[in-house]
């Protein structure tokens, strides 16, 4: 009997480790998509690929590890939001407010950040390969 229990436990443990973990609050995701109002919401790990979040209120929202690929964040307020490790590949964030946001380790490949405000934002280890960055506080190189 022990011989069949141990392999079963090992299989369950392996499958549990392989499954993706979702941490976002589904009610918060629904609220955001329906109203574009979600200040302080828990959206960690949420898949918001291609969402139209124009002018969304995401102040102090937890978007750590969220997938925001090709998302329209034009004019969105992300003041104080946690975007640590978020995937913003090809996101459109013109006139977005990212003041005091945590973007550490965020992927902004091919994103458009035109006139985005980043006052006090944490921008360490961000990937801006191919990004269009104009009129914002993000600078490349220099002294």
What domains lie within the chain, and their CATH numbers? 37-143 (2.160.20.80)
Instruction: Name the residue with higher pLDDT: 52 or 141.
Output: 52
Mean pLDDT of the chain: 87
Q: Is the pTM of this model over 0.95?
A: no
pLDDT digits (tens, 9 = 90+) for 53-103: 999 999 999 999 999 999 999 999 999 999 999 999 999 999 999 999 999
Confidence label for 22 from pLDDT (cuts 50, 70 and 90)? low
CA dihedral for 37, 78, 133, 86, sign (positive or negative): negative
Burial 104-139 (b: 16+ CB within 10 A, else e): bbbbbbbbbbbebbbeebbbeebebeebebeebebe
Spatial distance between the Cα atoms of 141 and 44, rounded to a whole number of angstroms:
31
């Amino acid at each position: 009997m022990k011989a069949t229990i141990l392999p079963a436990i090992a299989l369950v443990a392996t499958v549990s480790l392989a499954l993706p973990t979702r941490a976002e609050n589904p009610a918060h995701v629904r609220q955001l998509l329906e109203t574009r109002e979600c200040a302080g919401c828990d959206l960690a790990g949420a898949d918001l690929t291609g969402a139209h979040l124009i002018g969304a209120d995401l102040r102090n929202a937890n978007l750590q590890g969220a997938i925001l690929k090709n998302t329209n964040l034009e004019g969105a307020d992300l003041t104080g939001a946690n975007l640590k490790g978020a995937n913003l590949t090809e996101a459109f964030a013109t006139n977005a407010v990212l003041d005091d946001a945590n973007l550490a380790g965020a992927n902004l490949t091919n994103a458009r950040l035109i006139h985005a405000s980043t006052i006090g934002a944490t921008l360490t280890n961000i990937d801006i390969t191919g990004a269009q960055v104009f009129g914002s506080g993000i600078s490349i190189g220099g002294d």
